Structure 1
Amino acid sequence: MTTTSPVRRPRRDAVDNRAGILAAATETIGSDPRASIDTIARSAGLSRRALYGHFADRDALIRDVISAGAQRFNDIAARVDDTDARVALARLASLLWAEASHVQVLAAIVLDDAHVQETADALAPLRRAVVAIVRRGQDDGTLRTDVALPTLARLVEEAARTVITRVDASSPDARSLAVRATLSIAGLSWRDGVELLAAHPAILEED
């Protein structure tokens, strides 16, 4: 008679706990960039010791938060393939709005000098996408040309990050305002922004 060994399955609890820690860290650091490991652990409903069972130290946890947030943004950038730079920029800003909590936490982490370069490196694909969109718009004259490409791309990035994290999300017009504010930095008037979104209403509904 032969016996078979039971199939070993992944430890679902461990996976769920790790995901919960990352979610708690994202929320906690978004409101307090200097949040301690104890604060994050409490937010996740775990002890400090239990948290250390998943992450060696706070820096290891922060690196995973950066990686997770950056991957979301980079994936979004890869989805935007509109040939019209104005539409592409509007769509990118709108999709990032749906990831406001991650935008906020990465913005907070950047305030910590220890992670500035790490965050910049992780977001390189997104930044390249923004530069490509702005270059296309400047080349065909649909985006402003009075500002050099690198500067305008960075201004667009900073404007998007600011409005996404500062606009009151409870407002029914919040997403539209975030997109239009980003477009305005790129050279569109408020009327142009309104007309573009009216012509492409799906932009404000995607997630």
Structure 2
Amino acid sequence: MLSVRPPRSDARANRAGILDAARGALALDPHASVDLIARSAGLSRRTLYGHFDDRDALIRELIRTGAQRFNAIAESISDADARIALARLAARLWQEAAHVQFAAALALDEAHVEDTADALAPLRRAVVQLVRRGQDDGSFRTDLAAPTLSRLIEEVARTVVARTDASSTGAANLAVRAVLSIAGLSWREADELLSAHPDITDLPATTELSA
């Protein structure tokens, strides 16, 4: 039986360099070409195509690796109170999206909806479970089924990411309040919750998760 040889270290380094270069180039220009990305990585176009079949394949990989971080955030939320858990999840996801907002914008692009949906399936399952838990204990609105309410929360989050300047003061707070509002909390209830738990939106500069 033939063993599969792992990629050489220089091949792994080239692939990582291409992804880093793509993140940087796309942050400046969402329409950055393959040629520009290859030059930014210090590699030839041919070398880039040795790792990715085309530009779409490269973008799909960026979405996949970004989704891994979002999914890991969902797994890290352990608050017993569904309201606090949803607020904390929204804040941490916002922080990650703001940190790599260009990648979030790519993921929200209609051309990559299916790729994003597949990559974020674990996150979506976690949100549905969280919403169902909040409905069961009376924290969240119950006029909508959990999957429907979860999708509304997702759409609101998509809009906030797409429309809000990540660097603006209070952006994370706005995102969290929008999500809580859709879940059924009044502005006063959201205010009381965030006042009692200021750590939710008092986020560090970066999220320490492995890529």
TM-score of the aligned structures, taking structure 1 as reference length: 0.80
Contact map agreement 2:18 2:37 (CA 8 A) in 1? yes
The residue number in structure 2 matching 1:25 is 22
Supply the distance in 1 between the matched residues of 2:91 and 2:130 (Cα, whole angstroms).
15
Q: Which residue in 1 is equivalent to 2:106?
A: 108
Distance across 1 between alignment mates of 2:25 and 2:155: 22
The secondary structure found in structure 2 opposite 1:81 is: coil
Distance in 2 (alpha carbons) for counterparts of 1:103 and 1:146: 33
User: Within 1, Cα distance between the matches of 2:13 and 2:198?
Assistant: 37
Matching of residues 83-122 of structure 1 within 5 Å: 83-100=80-97, 101-102=99-100, 105-113=103-111, 115-122=112-119
2:177 aligns with 180
Deviations 1:91-112 (A, max 9, x none): 1111111211556535534534
Report SS of the residue matched to 1:99.
Answer: helix
The answer on whether the counterparts of 2:78 and 2:85 sit within 8 Å (CA) in structure 1 is yes
Deviation at 1:36, TM superposition (A): 3.6
Please say which of residues 45-54 and 131-140 is displaced more in the overlay: 45-54
Q: Judge conservation of contact 1:131–1:153 (CA < 8 Å) in 2.
A: yes
Equivalent residue for 2:34? 37
Partner of 2:69: 72
Larger Rg: 1
Q: Report the more deviating stretch, 18-27 or 94-103.
A: 18-27
CA-to-partner distance for each residue in 1:17-64, whole Å, 9 max, x for gaps? 433422343455577665542343355454423422432322331231
Deviation at 1:141, TM superposition (A): 1.1
Are the equivalent residues in 2 in contact too, given 1:163–1:178 (CA < 8 A)?
A: yes
CA distance in 1, matches of 2:106, 2:59: 11
For residues 25 and 150 of structure 2, the distance between their equivalents in structure 1, rounded to whole angstroms, comes to 29
Corresponding letter in the other structure for 1:182: V
Percent of matched pairs sharing the same residue:
64
Alignment RMSD, CA only?
2.6
Contact 2:91 2:176 in 1 (8 A): yes
CA distance in 2, matches of 1:110, 1:77: 18
Distance 1:190 1:43 in 2: 46
Matching residue of 2:131 = 134
The answer for unaligned runs of 5 or more in structure 2 is 1-7
Aligned partner of residue 56 in structure 1, secondary structure: coil
Aligned partner of 1:190 in structure 2 is: 187
Shift in Å at residue 83 of structure 1? 1.6
Q: Normalized against structure 2, the TM-score is what?
A: 0.79
